[in-house]
Amino acid sequence: MIKFLDPRGTVSRQLEPYHNLLDICQKEGSGVTIGLLANGFPDSELFVRKVGSAIQKRLPKIKAKIWNKGNPGITVPEEMLQAIVTDCQVVVAAYGH
């Protein structure tokens, strides 16, 4: 007889439901600015620019802003983080190499 084991662990805290309050598809992205954050690895900015182009093809009225933290070994500088939070309703961050 084969016994199957579930490899998932048990959840130790209560799950909190996530509610998305912003419908970016509404009006083809009109009034929404998406931040695209490159992590600083070579070509990471090119990658997020291509992601932004793909998003803008789908949502032609969305505005995109690009940031590059310049060094993958650091966290986002506070000044840059504040600019992103102030200017954007949605952010896509590129991680990895």
Is 16 inside any structural domain?
Answer: no
Is 7 inside any structural domain?
Answer: no
Strand order in the sheet with 63-68: 63-68, 33-38, 90-93
Q: Give the per-residue pLDDT at 96.
A: 67
Q: Is the pLDDT of residue 22 over 90?
A: no
Is 2 inside any structural domain?
Answer: no
Q: Is the pLDDT of residue 64 over 70?
A: yes
pTM for this one? 0.76
Q: Give the per-residue pLDDT at 89.
A: 94
> pLDDT tens digits, residue range 23-53?
888 889 999 999 999 999 999 999 999 999 9
Is 43 inside any structural domain?
Answer: yes
Is 5 inside any structural domain?
Answer: no
Is 59 inside any structural domain?
Answer: yes
Q: What is the mean pLDDT of residues 57-71?
A: 96
Instruction: Judge contact between 95 and 41, C-beta under 8 A.
Output: no
3-state SS, residue 77: coil
Is 48 inside any structural domain?
Answer: yes
Total domains in the chain come to 1
Query: Which among 65, 63, 64, 67 is positioned nearest to 39, based on CA atoms?
Result: 67
